[in-house]
Structure 1
Amino acid sequence: MSTFDDTATNIARDSAYVGVQASVVHGDIYTYTTSPDASPAEKFETGVRFLEIGASGRASQLISEAVAAGHLTNRVCFYWLLALTSGRTRLELSKEEAAQLRNAPNTLRLTGDDPWADAVKMIHRLLACAEKRDADLRLLFKEFDELGDAQRSLILRHLELFLDGPFKEQIWHRTVKQAELGRTARERGNRVWKFFQPDPFPPRKREPRPATIHFTTWLQAVTATAVFGAAAIHIGFLLAQGGRILALLPYLLSIAGGYVGGRNAVEWRFRTVRRRTKDKECATPHLRRSAPSDGFASKVDQRFDYYFAKYVPQGASRDMWLAATAGIRRSIRDEIVEVYRETRVGVEKIAWLIRYRVGDVRHRWEKGTLWSYREELATPLPTKAMAVLGVAILAGGGIWAASDAMQVSPLSGTRSTFLVPAGGWIAARAWLRIVLERRRAAADKSESDQVLEDSKAAFARWQAKLADKPEDREMADWLDCDRKVLLSEALQHYKLTMSDVIAHAFIEAPAASSKRARVRNGPWRYLKYQILIFVLTQDGVRQLTITLDFERGTFHDRQRANYRFEALAAVRVRQADNDERTFELALVNGQEIRVRVSPEAEEIQQGENPGAVSDVTLDAAGLHHTLHVLEGIAAEGKEWILQERRRGQDRTRNLTDEMQDPDS
């Protein structure tokens, strides 16, 4: 007999626990929710969905309530039998449940012939023939194979533990074959990761700062313009009055030059200021006080750090990339924090947006357009030339006209000559501030609108990519197939057949730092699992610990251990105040196996019961059956095998006495 090897385990010990992170709760899916006034039909359908994920306890309760309320069809009869027997052995039935099963042929009245009625009759046959050594297995399996695909698959999945007897091996071979096909069905490798993605929050527009122009600026602009205009008109009047025809031409040219020069000077100034502003945004930021570690801004920082470190452009080193984009990273980060901080949206719902914005920065880097704004905002040489030429014409023509005006009327001409440059300077500065502020607001709005449109397009692409997100029942199907294939691998390694196995049980726990997600009121699903298999044979316990990459459906880090029944000292599940459940198995040599099988109660949606979420997680994981097996071994040792067989024979005899073949 093999002895326990303490080097062959890969489990949490010495108060160490398996960590979990990146939680997602799909709160808009109500697959496992029933209203207080739900009809029997609604309760039944919810029970079916619970059964599909392996939560047979909750399924049996709801389906039984529907049956008690008079909702009884052939399909209901079939699922009621499955829920009563799924994931359990005969000995795990209570006295009431055993009585219900014995009386099933009399209470489940079938109506007509359809695939569901045939499946109910087949379950009766399988249960009635469990201990008949002279049963005609060829005829039985011929009829079994003639069942509908859906009914046959459901029987293989849910009655694996309950069925016993001479056809146990045949049933197991069919179950494994079905599992091997099912674990890669429906494009599992391309879809599983989508289940762990939260429903994305749509993009929001960052409202740019509106144009802010103080009243004093408007007052200066209007007043100075009025003074400048009156003085300029007065100079022209003096020239006309004095017959200075030659001076009128430079006077008019100065006006035209001022208009052209002013327009081009404003464009020049706007481009220069805009470019400086963009340079400041992209410059390496000064150190700021860090945000609270558990705050929204801090979580946004973590996402930006992660994606910028991940999405390094081709041909660039990570250090250079991070240093060169520090300012851009800070600018986009501040934008997103500002827009979403007050929306009470978790950062995981806008992770797609952060990822898109970072990807866009990388794309522009690779195209060489990340700093293209510098070229776009560079002032063209003709604009500069027209600005300089216009101002020169304004100055030259103005001086010529002013000098002639003072000759016509020295006093009033001198006064107007002084007021024109003074008023013009004040008016030009005031109007420049007004125009620049308005153009700044318009440019900010244009950029914000463009960012929003691009983000909407990215949002639509992301939604389309998540459109085929797997349902929770598909996740349960794949996990159930993984369990069966893994058990088959363990049997092959130990050179055992299913007939050699007295009992088997699983413990499922999240692997270290695994993403997790669930639907409302549903069990937690993990991207990576740590699975413990216990296989009981005459020689003792075979334990296999393995890491399951659920996305790819691959097994890793196999660890094996063998020990006698007498080595098992205690089995228990501890429940903390936060509803965290921990499975503990102690051996007589002091060795302990501790695995957190249910996380703490968090991300609970309105209307959810924290305890119910943990219970359905444990129910779907089959923990109740595991505890039944291991607690029996811990209490009775090897004697448990003999007692289990004796109790099983008695229970089977009672069942077969009452539950005869319906067609006999």
Structure 2
Amino acid sequence: MTRASMHAGPSGDQAIGIDNQGGVIHNVNLYQQTPSDNPARNLEVGIELLSANLPRRAAHFLAAAYEHGVKSNRLLLHWALAILSGRSDIDLSGEEVNQLEHCINAVDYDSADKWSQGMEVVAGLLQATVLSRNDGLDQAGIEEILRRAQRLDADIRSDVLLHLDRIVSGSLFEYLWADHSDHVGRLRNAGNRKKRVPKFFIQDQSPPRMPTSTPYRPKSGAKGRAVGGCSIAAVASLLVLTAHPSLVASAVLVVVSAAAAALVVNFGKPLALRAKRIDDLRIELRGIASDTRWPGLDPRQLAFHEAFARLLAVAFETRTPTGFTPAQWLVANEHIRGTMAANVTRLYCDGRTQPGELRWLAEHLAKTQAGHMRTGLLWDPRFGVPDEDRARLGVTAGAALFAATGLFGGVPTGAGGAFGIFFAAVAIAGGLWLALPGVIELAIGPHYYAERRRRADEAFRQASQTYSEWADWLLDRPEDTEMAQWLAADLSWLRIEAMNALRLTHQDVIAHFAITEPADDARAARVPFGPTRYSSYRLRIFLLTENGVRVYGVELDFTDGSHFSPTRDNFRYDVIVSARVVEIGVRYGESRRAIVDLDRAPHQGPRDFTLAHALSLRLQKGELKILIGANRNRDLVNGGFEDPDSLLSIDIESSGIGEGLRILQAVAGEGKGWIETERARQRQVILKERRRPSRIEAPPTARSLALEGPESAA
């Protein structure tokens, strides 16, 4: 059975099924740009990348825009946020601290715009964070920072709170938490998240196409039977007219035969049309048995056929009618699904349309088939075609006249010629009876073609209506930046959940970071040059404390932000051996995946696994591997502009592995002492003399540190 998730669908639908295989890449140009291009465009791309939680890439574009002449407060604030986003103070390099200092000093504070006000709050929070670890908190100064933060523009305030989530820590975060938790709680459920998130994993849909009309082709031999039978009847009629002793009687014989033929043709056409309708409906409802390779399809079409057949299986499974289990319903419709997939492949597989763009069509076909089951049409296609009792009576009457013609031919004479005339009359009836099926077949051709055209038009109209419903339903599909904000809010919220579960306070946590990886059955989607988003995540939150590292893991359902299956782990700093990104093998099953050790995998022959990358955290007594991205979805790389290496780089940053890797590698090399060494260095750099300090009043000790630097104050 196909793995699928149930979600609310377009109007009129209770639910739709979204399969958990394959990936979606949206044709949206949010992040496509090079640092050497237009500076104004680089600024916009940098801000979008920051919203997408790709701060390192954002900083690269913002720095390029600044170097090419964009000196606005808007750029400087977002550049500073990009440097700080997802970082604790021990993550910042010397170059980044210098860039941060430059951003703070270069702002035009006299403009008093929303960006300069935002930078004042950022600078104040940075200063207060560093000082709080050594000199304690200045409560009055913190309250002033909070008041200024409350007065910020709503979007600026949201950005500051989210991007400084890791840089602000310890006792200072206690002051911010009440405001921050309310903001994060609202953000997690904003924008009708539960209904909109599933739409991100659905491609833009391709409109319906009208199948090509093919002229009606009568059955083989129909024309021959019609011509042959009529010829026999004509010759026999001529014989009767010339050989019969009574001209009137012979004329009556011929006229009756013609009338019988007219009756059969006139009333036989509806019966023949009905038989054809039933045959067409039987194929339409039940399909045709075919070789699984579908002869006539090339390899590209076979791949399309397989992908659309999978969509059909998901759609049929989620629309199982009463009285069936999903497995039973799939078996009952095996042939029709194959026929549907073949017909759709031949109509849509043109190199421009992907199977995922026809999800609406799979749902439409499944919904229609379930409706046929409820009406009983699936069991007996004759229910869908009106009966033709009157036509049967007419054909019966015509047949009776034919029989009477044969008998009437020998009645008038008792002479020796009567026997020949009798057989001539029978020949008339027989010839016409032989010709009638062919005549009817030829006569119903235009009617049958017109009727098929009407049925095709009606099917197209219904399909177009379904497509329109889907197109309207997808109009509010979330942007990639919205997906990023929801994920950032989830991570912030779950960090506090982890601290509560592990009974840790903000003062207990020296540093923290979160790493995400796709869940086993996650769906995947992305925009070009953006990170891969998943429908469900396996999340690990690393909390660095005085005594070691605490790890809290959960499974996150991204549709609504719910989490389950919590896990806990911990280890001392001195047991960390190494941390690095390695190549691994991943073997995918129906709903689970398994890591394959490449050193033990066979080097020759076919592989039953996919190459991927993972973070390898080696401890003295074990190893933890965290998958980077889902290489199962190789169709997520936009081949015209991207390559797998660039996608890997993006996924390393967006998953949190990039920042976590640096901390873990440093701790593995230098031990716990590295944290305190880094903090001492950062304290001295951040509190160096600045051209324009924060406008927030600080106590004398703090102010002297801000103006004179720690060495001067000492």
TM range (shorter): 0.7 to 0.9
Residue 613 of structure 1 corresponds to 647
CA distance in 1: counterparts of 2:549 and 2:534, whole angstroms: 27
CA distance in 2: counterparts of 1:404 and 1:149, whole angstroms: 109
CA distance in 2: counterparts of 1:646 and 1:192, whole angstroms: 43
CA distance in 1: counterparts of 2:386 and 2:159, whole angstroms: 70
Displacement of 1:549 in angstroms is 1.0
With over 3 angstroms needed to count, the CA separation of the structure-2 counterparts of 1:209 and 1:152, relative to structure 1, is: same
| Residue correspondence of structure 1 range 69-84 to structure 2 within 5 A | 69-84=68-83
CA distance in 1: counterparts of 2:102 and 2:335, whole angstroms: 75
Which deviates the most, 260-269 or 225-234? 225-234
1:258 paired with 2:261, answer: yes
1:167 paired with 2:172, answer: yes
Give the partner amino acid of 1:562.
N
1:315 paired with 2:314, answer: no
Match of 1:507, SS state, is strand
Displacement of 1:645 in angstroms is 2.7
User: Deviations 1:427-486 (Å, cap 9, x if unpaired)?
Assistant: 434323323555554444343333322222222222222221111111111111111111
Displacement of 1:518 in angstroms is 0.8
Match of 1:447 among 442, 455, 460: 455
Match of 1:580, SS state, is strand
| Residue correspondence of structure 1 range 235-384 to structure 2 within 5 A | 244=247, 252-276=255-279, 278-279=281-282, 288-289=291-292, 295-317=303-325, 321-322=329-330, 324-343=332-351, 345-371=353-379, 373-377=381-385, 379-384=387-392
Asked if the contact 2:267/2:394 (under 8 Å) is kept, the reply is: yes
| Residue correspondence of structure 1 range 24-43 to structure 2 within 5 A | 24-34=23-33, 38-43=37-42
Which deviates the most, 50-59 or 208-217? 208-217
Which deviates the most, 519-528 or 441-450? 441-450
Residue 99 of structure 2 corresponds to 100
CA distance in 2: counterparts of 1:607 and 1:359, whole angstroms: 38
Displacement of 1:394 in angstroms is 4.8
Displacement of 1:97 in angstroms is 2.8
Give the partner amino acid of 1:462.
W
Asked if the contact 2:35/2:65 (under 8 Å) is kept, the reply is: no
Displacement of 1:143 in angstroms is 1.9
Asked if the contact 1:282/1:326 (under 8 Å) is kept, the reply is: no
CA distance in 2: counterparts of 1:179 and 1:631, whole angstroms: 31
- Unaligned runs of at least 5 residues, structure 1: 1-19
Displacement of 1:364 in angstroms is 2.4
Residue 595 of structure 2 corresponds to none
Displacement of 1:384 in angstroms is 1.0
Match of 1:167, SS state, is helix
1:184 paired with 2:189, answer: yes
Displacement of 1:49 in angstroms is 0.7
Asked if the contact 2:230/2:435 (under 8 Å) is kept, the reply is: yes
Displacement of 1:150 in angstroms is 1.3
| Residue correspondence of structure 1 range 584-599 to structure 2 within 5 A | 584-589=616-621, 591-599=622-630
Displacement of 1:636 in angstroms is 1.7
Residue 124 of structure 1 corresponds to 123
Asked if the contact 1:192/1:470 (under 8 Å) is kept, the reply is: yes
User: Deviations 1:274-294 (Å, cap 9, x if unpaired)?
Assistant: 435644665696574467998
Give the partner amino acid of 2:271.
W
Displacement of 1:264 in angstroms is 1.0
Asked if the contact 1:207/1:445 (under 8 Å) is kept, the reply is: no
With over 3 angstroms needed to count, the CA separation of the structure-2 counterparts of 1:299 and 1:23, relative to structure 1, is: closer
Displacement of 1:547 in angstroms is 0.8
CA distance in 2: counterparts of 1:75 and 1:150, whole angstroms: 12
Aligned alpha-carbon RMSD (Å): 3.8
CA distance in 2: counterparts of 1:166 and 1:414, whole angstroms: 118
CA distance in 1: counterparts of 2:157 and 2:284, whole angstroms: 65
1:153 paired with 2:184, answer: no
- Unaligned runs of at least 5 residues, structure 2: 1-18, 586-609, 698-714
Match of 1:641, SS state, is helix
Match of 2:525 among 517, 521, 528: 517
| Residue correspondence of structure 1 range 383-462 to structure 2 within 5 A | 383-396=391-404, 400=408, 420-421=428-429, 424-425=432-433, 427-436=435-444, 438-462=446-470
Asked if the contact 1:124/1:659 (under 8 Å) is kept, the reply is: no
CA distance in 1: counterparts of 2:379 and 2:114, whole angstroms: 68
1:66 paired with 2:65, answer: yes
CA distance in 2: counterparts of 1:231 and 1:337, whole angstroms: 54
Residue 591 of structure 2 corresponds to none
With over 3 angstroms needed to count, the CA separation of the structure-2 counterparts of 1:365 and 1:142, relative to structure 1, is: same
Residue 582 of structure 1 corresponds to 614
User: Deviations 1:344-378 (Å, cap 9, x if unpaired)?
Assistant: 64433323322321222122212334346313446
Match of 2:561 among 553, 567, 571: 553
Residue 50 of structure 2 corresponds to 51
With over 3 angstroms needed to count, the CA separation of the structure-2 counterparts of 1:311 and 1:519, relative to structure 1, is: same
Match of 2:111, SS state, is coil
1:533 paired with 2:541, answer: yes
User: Deviations 1:533-563 (Å, cap 9, x if unpaired)?
Assistant: 1101112111111111111211111110122
Displacement of 1:249 in angstroms is 5.7
CA distance in 2: counterparts of 1:570 and 1:274, whole angstroms: 72
Residue 581 of structure 2 corresponds to 573
Query: Which structure is higher in RCO with an 8 Å CA cutoff and minimum separation 6?
Result: 1
Which deviates the most, 183-192 or 207-216? 207-216
CA distance in 1: counterparts of 2:614 and 2:200, whole angstroms: 25
Give the partner amino acid of 1:653.
L
CA distance in 1: counterparts of 2:221 and 2:258, whole angstroms: 27
Match of 2:694 among 654, 661, 664: 661
With over 3 angstroms needed to count, the CA separation of the structure-2 counterparts of 1:165 and 1:559, relative to structure 1, is: closer
Residue 493 of structure 2 corresponds to 485
Residue 664 of structure 2 corresponds to 630
Asked if the contact 1:91/1:648 (under 8 Å) is kept, the reply is: yes
With over 3 angstroms needed to count, the CA separation of the structure-2 counterparts of 1:552 and 1:163, relative to structure 1, is: closer
Residue 10 of structure 1 corresponds to none
Match of 1:139 among 123, 144, 165: 144
Give the partner amino acid of 2:485.
D
Match of 1:82, SS state, is helix
Which deviates the most, 380-389 or 601-610? 601-610
Asked if the contact 2:88/2:166 (under 8 Å) is kept, the reply is: yes
| Residue correspondence of structure 1 range 190-205 to structure 2 within 5 A | 190-205=195-210
Asked if the contact 2:31/2:528 (under 8 Å) is kept, the reply is: yes
User: Deviations 1:585-608 (Å, cap 9, x if unpaired)?
Assistant: 11112x110011233382221212
Count how many residue pairs are aligned between Structure 1 and Structure 2.
640
Displacement of 1:88 in angstroms is 1.9
With over 3 angstroms needed to count, the CA separation of the structure-2 counterparts of 1:626 and 1:36, relative to structure 1, is: closer
Which deviates the most, 349-358 or 292-301? 292-301
CA distance in 2: counterparts of 1:167 and 1:302, whole angstroms: 53
CA distance in 2: counterparts of 1:477 and 1:522, whole angstroms: 14
- TM-score, normalised to structure 1, is 0.85
CA distance in 2: counterparts of 1:397 and 1:368, whole angstroms: 44
Match of 2:624, SS state, is strand
CA distance in 1: counterparts of 2:221 and 2:567, whole angstroms: 79
CA distance in 1: counterparts of 2:127 and 2:283, whole angstroms: 82
Match of 2:22, SS state, is strand
Asked if the contact 2:101/2:686 (under 8 Å) is kept, the reply is: no
Displacement of 1:525 in angstroms is 0.8
Which deviates the most, 576-585 or 194-203? 576-585
Asked if the contact 1:211/1:440 (under 8 Å) is kept, the reply is: yes
Which deviates the most, 79-88 or 304-313? 304-313
Asked if the contact 1:193/1:551 (under 8 Å) is kept, the reply is: yes
Displacement of 1:29 in angstroms is 0.9
